Amino acid sequence: MRPPFRPTARQLNWLLIVGFSSVGYALYLRYFAIENSTVGLACQAGLPTWLCFTRTVVTALFTHAAFGWVALAAAALNFVRPSIVLFSIALAATGFGIVLYNIALSALAAGLLVLSLARPAPTTE
């Protein structure tokens, strides 16, 4: 019987950095760029800054549930064949999706990420 997929200590540190960074940046975007009325009015008036560009792109992405779908796809692929790269992508997209209004799909992806830790690790040849 193969052992379950478990990240090593180094991989776990990487996952902590990815998770906290994605949730932190998503919180920054949500509360300082998207929901801030001063920034919203300035961006709608045509202010050409990186914050306004980022606000426009992120708003378009969460309107179409892109963060949730990316998180769900990466988590499903990680469930089928566990790897640290897919886990990182799914974790980052899940963090963004939960903070930026794509809660249902991102929560399902988070559940798949937890279940993927019980899957057997891929064999190395």
Question: What is the rounded CA–CA span in Å between residue 44 and residue 65?
Answer: 22
Amino acid 81: pLDDT: 87
Q: Is residue 1 part of a domain?
A: no
Q: Is residue 121 part of a domain?
A: no
Q: Is residue 125 part of a domain?
A: no
The residue whose two tokens read 């950095």 is 17
Contact 99, 68 (CB under 8 A): no
Domain extent at residue 71: 10-116
Contact 115, 76 (CB under 8 A): no
Q: Is residue 3 part of a domain?
A: no
Q: Is residue 17 part of a domain?
A: yes
Amino acid 4: pLDDT: 78
Q: What is the pLDDT along the chain (125 residues), one digit of tens a residue?
A: 677 788 889 999 999 999 999 999 999 999 999 999 999 999 999 899 999 999 999 999 989 999 999 999 999 999 988 889 999 999 999 999 999 988 999 999 999 999 988 877 766 66
Domains identified in the chain, total number: 1
Q: Is residue 47 part of a domain?
A: yes
51: amino acid identity, one letter: L
Q: Is residue 39 part of a domain?
A: yes
Q: Is residue 122 part of a domain?
A: no
Amino acid 52: pLDDT: 92
